[in-house]
Structures are given as C-alpha cells and as structure tokens.
Amino acid sequence: MKIGVLSLQGNFDEHINRLSSFNVETIKVKNKSSLLECDGLIIPGGESTTMSKMLDFNNLRDTIVELKDRINIMGVCAGMILLSNTTNYHNLETLNIMDFKVERNGWGRQIFSFNQTIETSLSKDKFTGTFIRAPKVVSYSKSLKCLSEIKSTPILLSDGRHIGCAFHLEYSNDNSIYEYFLKLIRN
C-alpha cells in the first residue's frame, strides 16, 4: 500500500511523519506520475486558494478527479475545502468530489485558532483537535456520514470512500482517523 500526500503547499510533512508509524509506504505527490502510484491520497491543511492554483499549475486537478473512484482521498482543513462542492469563492475552484459545502475560516480567522476535545464514532477515546482557520460545513448530503461534530456542526464527514476533516488530526495524539482511512483503502 502506498499513501500519497499532496506536497505542493501546506502541512504535508506532518502527515508523512504520522503515516510512518503505520508501516505504509508514503510518497510526496508533486506531479501526475507520483499521483498515479498512490492507493490513497491525503490533501493536507494549508491555504486552499494557493493549493487550488497549484493543482492547476502542476496539472494535477483533472487526474485527481479522474482517480476519485479508484483511490481514497482524505482532505484535512484546506484539503476538506478542496474535496467539497463549494462554489461561492471567486478565487477558488474545488475538486467537487464530496457533496458538502463549507464556509472558509468558518470557525474564525487565524487569531481565533483553538483546540477542541473531539469525539468520533470511530473510537471510544476522546482527543484534542486543532482548528486553524478551519472550514465550517454549512450543508451536506444525507448520503454522507457525519463521524464527528461540535456544536451540531459536522467536522468529520465520509462518503465511504473519501474523508473530509475540518481540524488538523496530524497534531492530535489519536490515530483512529488515520486507521479508518487505511481501512477504507484496504477494503
């Protein structure tokens, strides 16, 4: 199994470091040939507008969309924004892979970053999630499964193939979301 981490901009090294504890091969995805080697892809947190533009600059957008039914994709923070079908930002083109919409920086600007105790349906253990300019889900299809929420707002969604996560799971001490992602890939 080979897990790619989109490495154009953002917090890709932290995901690679976390994945090393699972004994899976990781690859920094920077071009189409590296993407085509992957069984799964993590789109990390970063700046969603920049990442959207870098997808086009590196000719990755169409390939990711073409692969969406063959590989599993997890989007974290900015990656969650890119997985969504959000259309109301003139400087951002999402991948339209999952049926939900977000408000960018919906939990607050950079100075309002916070840590929050998270409970998911994936584990009985609670852990701390870090929200940095995090997207807030404003609507989602009932075909998606909400795996976690705070204040009645989804922060972790899955369609059974892909995962959208509003917080930075790479900073937590919990592995349940990574384990769930790897399980989706194996199945």
Report the C-alpha gap between 29 and 4 in whole angstroms. 6
Report the C-alpha gap between 105 and 98 in whole angstroms. 19
| CB < 8 Å & 24+ apart, contacts of 105-114 | 105/133, 105/134, 105/135, 106/134, 106/135, 106/136, 106/137, 106/138, 107/131, 107/133, 107/134, 107/135, 107/136, 107/166, 108/133, 108/134, 109/133
Cα angle vertex 126, ends 10, 146, to 5°?
70
Selected catalytic residue, list 38, 146, 165, 168:
168
Selected catalytic residue, list 38, 77, 146, 165:
77
CA 75 and chain centroid, separation: 1
Q: Is 162 a catalytic residue?
A: no
167 within 8 A of 155, measured Cβ to Cβ: yes
Selected catalytic residue, list 38, 146, 162, 170:
170
Q: Is 47 a catalytic residue?
A: no
The tokens describing 149, both together, are 């929420």
Q: Is 179 a catalytic residue?
A: no
Which of helix, strand or coil describes residue 30?
Answer: coil
Residues recognised as catalytic: 77, 168, 170
